[in-house]
């Protein structure tokens, strides 16, 4: 009688290999798809231009439980910027990650990059990176030609706490009084 273990092992191996993270998603600097989706800007943004900074709240950890049995769950973060314009590229000039105290943890861009029409770029905070804490945030500065639709900037946080899976999203908010 044939063994049932071999097909099960093959099925499990194919599932694990099929679910292995894409190399870009595990980049050490967390830039994820920035290397492939952001291109150097050939020319500046035509004037008149729109310039905005978006505040994106994220959580690299959250508290669970109450009273004496309190624990913390570490979360991975994927923050994405989606250029919703079908005609115009978007220039990302700054993507910075800050901790709960407002201190800069990491700059994700070494130079501004152009995001093509309808393209999306992701920036990753690994689950083991708890420097941001429960009050972490991204500041994303972008610019584009007058009349461009504002990008959608969102974050997805995922993690495990025992046998409970956690997943939730946050949306960015454009700052109106952000100085230079």
For 42-96, write each residue's pLDDT tens digit.
666 777 889 999 999 999 888 887 666 778 888 999 999 999 999 999 999 999 9
Mean residue pLDDT across the chain:
80
Domain that holds residue 76: 23-174
Q: Is residue 12 in a domain?
A: no
Residue 7 domain flag: no
In a domain, 13, yes or no: no
Instruction: Report the alpha-carbon distance of residue 33 to residue 83 in Å, rounded.
Output: 14
CATH number of the domain to which 34 belongs: 2.60.40
- Reduced to 3 states, what is the DSSP secondary structure of residue 38? strand
pLDDT score, position 125: 94
Q: Is residue 5 part of a domain?
A: no
Give the pTM.
0.77
Tens-digit pLDDT profile for residues 108-159: 999 999 999 999 999 999 999 989 989 999 999 999 999 899 999 999 999 9
With respect to residue 152, please indicate whether it lies within any of the assigned structural domains: yes
CA dist 54 and 65 (Å) reads: 32
Q: What are phi and psi of 12, to 5 degrees?
A: -65, -40
Q: Is the dihedral of CA 96, 97, 99, 105 positive or negative?
A: negative
Within-domain flag for 144: yes
Secondary element (H or E) of residue 34:
helix 34-37
Q: What are phi and psi of 17, to 5 degrees?
A: -70, -40
Answer with the residue of higher pLDDT: 62 or 15. 62
**Structural domains in the chain (count):** 1
Would residue 6 count as lying in a domain? no
């Amino acid at each position: 009688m044939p063994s049932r273990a071999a097909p099960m092992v093959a099925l499990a191996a194919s599932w694990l290999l099929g679910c292995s993270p894409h190399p870009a998603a595990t980049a050490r600097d967390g830039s994820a798809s920035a290397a492939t989706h952001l291109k150097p800007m050939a020319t500046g943004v035509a004037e008149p231009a729109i310039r905005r900074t978006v505040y994106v709240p994220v959580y690299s950890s959250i508290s669970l439980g109450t009273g004496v049995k309190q624990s913390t769950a570490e979360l991975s973060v994927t923050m994405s910027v989606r250029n919703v314009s079908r005609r115009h590229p978007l220039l990302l000039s700054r993507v910075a990650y800050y901790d709960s105290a407002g201190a800069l943890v990491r700059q994700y861009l070494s130079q501004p990059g152009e995001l093509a029409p309808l393209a999306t770029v992701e920036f990753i905070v690994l689950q083991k990176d708890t420097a941001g804490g429960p009050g972490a945030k991204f500041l994303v500065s972008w610019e584009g030609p007058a009349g461009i639709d504002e990008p959608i900037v969102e974050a997805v946080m995922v993690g495990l706490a025992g046998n409970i899976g956690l997943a939730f999203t946050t949306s960015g908010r454009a700052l109106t009084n952000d100085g230079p």
